């Protein structure tokens, strides 16, 4: 009965590409409204895990349930329509369309034309890019493109948002603004955030799940995870080269 | 590229252009010349159909002539059998649309890649060409209509005015109808592109994965785009069968499909006016080149395509438009400095 309350639940989830076991035996769950951070070294399976949740990859074994619905056999767009929005690692946008058009297309999926207009304008304000509404996305700076993709995700009013490295390539000021934005968005929906930047993780995370070699290494409160010796060994020590944990 | 389009202004210009063509061209040129121009107009409708599915929908069909040919053949067969042409005109739209729906269903719902889509459409056109060519003899007929093998179907009845079966369209009237249908197709596609459906089709072309992640069933949008393009090609095919009062297997030929691609490339992929311009220009050039014995038209057309792809990759219309904008922007800056 407890599982019915979970927004995301995976059981023994795994996928292999030929001989490479990218994700294996992952039992993961996320509560409604929760914000979870995923960390792990490059190649740990975090992005693949996101692709399994969005239906881009089909699992070799195990199952995924989103809001009580098993996603086995569902197409990517059908999973998106369950209320799953994703910001990919490399911004994936409609580059030759304007910022507002990108947001509008997201909002239009679940709303009538006029309501989509309103939501697009609202999202423009949220990501603070109203001044660039008519700018083609291809002409924006990297950080701004990241925000547009965040805006695209929130304009779809999802129940669950997956963010893959939202602060990658951002300046210090941009990272702070992004962290603030994520905390704001989390007031209305659950989020899973993949990030390498430990300072950024500390700004937003309560619970952290650590991936290593396609498996869940540990899952705990952010302070406990960042001070755990196993985590330091597999990831943080090598990755950050002296970050204060 | 932006989705903001001034459709009503385009509709006014297209309407005025169509009226001018309808009244001026028959007044200036003789019937043979009008007949010659009519084929340009009909082929421009075919160009628009590929401009929509490729330039807007991102679907490159290497066998687009199939829908053109199906339009021509189904009109011819229906008109001969029905004894009236209004429903035959509708059949010429419905048959290519249905065929596109079936073919497109397997291609898009089977999620085949663009390369294989090109190969499949090419193969389908070759199959139709081969089959149509091998239907010689009295046993190959559909109802009263003989298929005629490589000779095709002769004596295809001309369109009549709906409700007046005796009022068969003459050359000038058929020319006028073709011009009106070209203008309507152009304006209709502009409105379609700027509709919510069109915006989503554009987004699918721009980034298919992102469209899926937003919840759009890209397979459905691609299929609908493909069907709309096939329906327009069917209209062009129907007019083509009317133009010459016959149709033959050349309508399915590979050269026909390639020609359409060249018109779109030369005029400008992603625009609607470009392929019309490309079609008029290259068809006129082809006609002119065939009057010169010492020149092989295919070499010249191939050369033009190579030059456009290398030097004007956006195509003629977008290049001229960008040039005009640059000149206008410079002129504005110059005026501001002077003030």
Confidence of residue A236 (pLDDT cuts 50, 70, 90): low
Higher pLDDT, B268 or A177: B268
Which residues contact residue A161 at a Cβ distance below 8 angstroms, ignoring those fewer than 6 apart? A85, A86, A87, A153, A154, A185, A189, A190, A191, A192
Which candidate from A56, A81, A88 shows the least CB-CB separation from B215? A81
Query: What is residue B60's three-state secondary structure?
Result: coil
pLDDT (tens digit, 9 = 90+) per residue, A76-117? 999 999 999 999 988 899 999 999 999 999 999 999 999 999
Q: Tell me the C-alpha distance between B170 and B152, whole Å.
A: 22
Query: A108 and B2: CB-CB below 8 Å?
Result: no
Identify whether the C-beta of residue A146 lies closer than 8 Å to the C-beta of residue A140.
Answer: no
Residue A183 falls within a domain, yes or no? no
Q: With 90 as the cut, is the pLDDT of residue B297 above it?
A: no
Closest CA to A151 of A172, A178, A169, A173: A178
Confidence of residue B68 (pLDDT cuts 50, 70, 90): very high
Q: What is the CATH number of the domain that holds A11?
A: 3.40.50.300
Q: With 50 as the cut, is the pLDDT of residue B339 above it?
A: yes
Which candidate from A75, A109, A113 shows the least CB-CB separation from B214? A109
Q: What is the pLDDT of residue B4?
A: 47
Within 10 A of B270 (CB to CB), how many other CB atoms are there?
20
Query: A109 and B218: CB-CB below 8 Å?
Result: no
Identify whether the C-beta of residue A24 lies closer than 8 Å to the C-beta of residue A14.
Answer: yes
Quote the domain boundaries for residue A210: 1-83+194-239
Identify whether the C-beta of residue B107 lies closer than 8 Å to the C-beta of residue B117.
Answer: yes
Pairing state between β A6-17 and B164-168: unpaired
A to B CB pairs, distance under 8 Å = 71
Q: What are the chain A neighbours of B109 within 8 Å (beta carbons)?
A: none
Confidence of residue A243 (pLDDT cuts 50, 70, 90): very low
Whether chain A has a CB inside 8 Å of the CB on B331: the answer is no
Query: A97 and B218: CB-CB below 8 Å?
Result: no
Which residues contact residue B262 at a Cβ distance below 8 angstroms, ignoring those fewer than 6 apart? B278, B282, B301, B305
Closest CA to A9 of A59, A45, A77, A63: A63
Query: B213 and A94: CB-CB below 8 Å?
Result: no
Q: Tell me the C-alpha distance between A237 and A240, whole Å.
A: 6
ipTM entry: 0.88
- SS3 assignment for B157-173: CCCEECCEEEEECCHHH
Residue A170 falls within a domain, yes or no? no
Residue A123 falls within a domain, yes or no? no
Residue of chain A nearest B201, judged by CA positions: A105
Q: Averaged over B294-321, what is the pLDDT?
A: 88
Domain locations along chain B: 7-253
Report the range of poorest mean pLDDT among A35-39, B208-212, B319-323, B329-333.
B329-333
Q: Which of B213, B221, B223, B314 to mutate against chain A (most A CBs within 10 Å)?
A: B213
Q: What are the chain A neighbours of B212 within 8 Å (beta carbons)?
A: 75-77, 80
Kindly compute the dihedral angle of the four CA atoms of residues B229, B233, B235, B236, in this order, to the nearest 10 degrees. Answer: 140
Closest CA to B233 of B259, B270, B214: B259
Query: What is residue A220's three-state secondary structure?
Result: strand
CA distances from A174 to A180, A239, B48 (A): 10, 22, 46
Query: B215 and A156: CB-CB below 8 Å?
Result: yes
Confidence of residue A2 (pLDDT cuts 50, 70, 90): very low
Q: What is the pLDDT of residue A244?
A: 40
Kindly compute the dihedral angle of the four CA atoms of residues A105, A109, A115, A119, in this order, to the nearest 10 degrees. Answer: -50
What angle do helix axes A142-155 and A99-108 make, rounded to 10 degrees? 20
Which candidate from A77, A85, A106 shows the least CB-CB separation from B217? A77
Concatenate the DSSP letters of all residues of B209-269 into one string: HHHHHTT--HHHHHHHHHHHHHHHHHHHHHHHHHHHT-B-GGGG-HHHHHHHHHHHHHH-T
Q: What are the chain B neighbours of A136 within 8 Å (beta carbons)?
A: 1-2
Q: What is the pLDDT of residue B82?
A: 93
Model pTM?
A: 0.90
Identify whether the C-beta of residue B282 lies closer than 8 Å to the C-beta of residue B264.
Answer: no
**Percent of chain A residues topping a pLDDT of 70:** 94
pLDDT (tens digit, 9 = 90+) per residue, B32-65? 999 999 999 999 999 999 999 999 999 999 999 9
Q: What are the chain B neighbours of A109 within 8 Å (beta carbons)?
A: 214-216
Q: Residue A12: phi, psi to the nearest 5?
A: 45, 40
Q: Tell me the C-alpha distance between B321 and B270, whole Å.
A: 13
Confidence of residue A143 (pLDDT cuts 50, 70, 90): confident
Within 13 Å and on the Cβ side, how many CA atoms surround B271? 22
Q: What is the pLDDT of residue A237?
A: 55
pLDDT (tens digit, 9 = 90+) per residue, B237-287? 999 999 999 999 999 999 899 999 999 999 999 999 999 999 999 999 988
Q: Structural domain tally of chain A?
A: 1
Residue A45 falls within a domain, yes or no? yes
Q: Tell me the C-alpha distance between B324 and B319, whole Å.
A: 9
Q: What is the pLDDT of residue A231?
A: 86
Report the alpha-carbon angle B262-B2-A78, nearest 5.
90
Q: What are the chain A neighbours of B213 within 8 Å (beta carbons)?
A: 54, 76-77, 80, 85-86, 88, 92
Whether chain A has a CB inside 8 Å of the CB on B204: the answer is no
Q: What are the chain A neighbours of B196 within 8 Å (beta carbons)?
A: 108, 113
Report the range of poorest mean pLDDT among A38-52, A168-182, B116-130.
A168-182
Q: What are the chain A neighbours of B3 within 8 Å (beta carbons)?
A: 97-98, 101
Query: What is residue B179's three-state secondary structure?
Result: helix
Q: Averaged over B285-305, what is the pLDDT?
A: 85
Residue A185 falls within a domain, yes or no? no
Residue A9 falls within a domain, yes or no? yes
Q: With 70 as the cut, is the pLDDT of residue A4 above it?
A: no
Q: Which of B193, B198, B210, B217 to mutate against chain A (most A CBs within 10 Å)?
A: B210
The whole-chain average pLDDT of chain B stands at 93
Residue of chain B nearest A90, judged by CA positions: B210
Q: What is the pLDDT of residue B336?
A: 77
């Amino acid at each position: 009965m407890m599982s019915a309350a979970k927004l995301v639940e995976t059981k023994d989830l795994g996928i292999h590409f030929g001989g490479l076991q990218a994700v294996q035996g992952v039992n993961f769950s996320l509560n409604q409204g929760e914000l979870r951070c995923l960390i792990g070294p490059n190649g740990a399976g975090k992005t693949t895990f996101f692709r399994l949740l969005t239906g881009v990859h089909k699992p070799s074994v195990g199952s995924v349930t989103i809001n009580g619905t098993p996603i086995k056999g569902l197409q990517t767009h059908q999973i998106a329509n369950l209320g799953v929005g994703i910001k990919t690692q490399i911004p994936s946008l409609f580059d030759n369309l304007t910022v507002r058009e990108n947001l509008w297309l997201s909002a239009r999926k679940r709303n009538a034309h006029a309501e989509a207009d309103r939501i697009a304008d609202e999202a423009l304000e949220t990501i603070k890019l109203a001044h660039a509404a008519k700018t083609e996305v291809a002409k924006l700076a990297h950080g701004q493109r990241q925000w547009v993709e965040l805006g695209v995700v929130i304009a779809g009013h999802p129940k669950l948002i997956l963010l893959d490295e939202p602060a990658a390539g951002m300046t210090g000021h941009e990272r702070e603004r992004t962290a603030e934005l994520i905390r704001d968005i989390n007031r209305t929906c659950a989020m899973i955030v993949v990030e390498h930047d430990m300072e950024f993780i500390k700004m937003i995370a309560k619970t952290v799940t650590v991936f290593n070699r396609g498996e869940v290494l540990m899952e705990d409160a952010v302070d406990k995870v960042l001070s755990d010796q196993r985590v330091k060994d597999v990831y943080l020590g090598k990755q950050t080269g002296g970050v204060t944990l | 590229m932006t989705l903001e389009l001034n459709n009503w202004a385009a509709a006014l210009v297209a309407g005025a252009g169509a009226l001018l063509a309808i009244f001026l061209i028959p007044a200036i040129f003789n019937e043979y010349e009008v007949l010659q121009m009519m084929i340009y107009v009909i082929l421009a409708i075919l160009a628009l159909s590929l401009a929509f599915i490729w330039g807007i929908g991102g679907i490159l069909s290497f066998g687009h002539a199939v829908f053109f040919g199906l339009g021509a053949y189904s009109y011819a067969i229906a008109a001969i059998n029905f004894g009236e042409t209004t429903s035959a005109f509708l059949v010429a739209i419905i048959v290519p649309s249905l065929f596109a729906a079936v073919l497109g269903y397997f291609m898009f719902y089977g999620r085949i890649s663009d390369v294989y889509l090109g190969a499949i459409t090419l193969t389908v056109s070759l199959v139709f060409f081969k089959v149509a060519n091998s239907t010689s003899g009295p046993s190959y007929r559909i109802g009263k209509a003989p298929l005629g093998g490589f000779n095709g179907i002769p004596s295809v009845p001309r369109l009549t005015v709906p409700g007046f079966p005796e009022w068969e369209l003459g050359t000038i009237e058929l020319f006028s109808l073709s011009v009106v249908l070209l203008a309507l197709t152009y304006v209709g596609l502009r409105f379609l592109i700027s509709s919510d459906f069109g915006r989503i089709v554009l987004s699918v072309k721009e980034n298919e994965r992102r469209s899926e992640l937003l919840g759009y069933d890209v397979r459905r949008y691609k299929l609908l785009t493909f069907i709309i393009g096939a329906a327009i090609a069917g209209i062009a095919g129907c007019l083509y069968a009317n133009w010459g009062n016959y149709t033959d297997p050349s309508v399915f030929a590979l050269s026909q499909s390639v020609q359409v691609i060249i018109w779109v490339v030369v005029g400008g992929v992603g625009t609607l006016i470009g392929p019309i311009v490309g079609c008029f220009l290259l068809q006129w050039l082809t006609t002119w080149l065939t009057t010169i014995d010492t020149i092989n038209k295919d070499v010249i057309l191939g050369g033009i395509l190579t030059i456009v792809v290398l030097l004007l990759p956006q195509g003629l219309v977008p290049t001229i438009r960008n040039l005009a904008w640059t000149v206008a922007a410079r002129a504005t800056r110059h005026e501001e400095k002077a003030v």
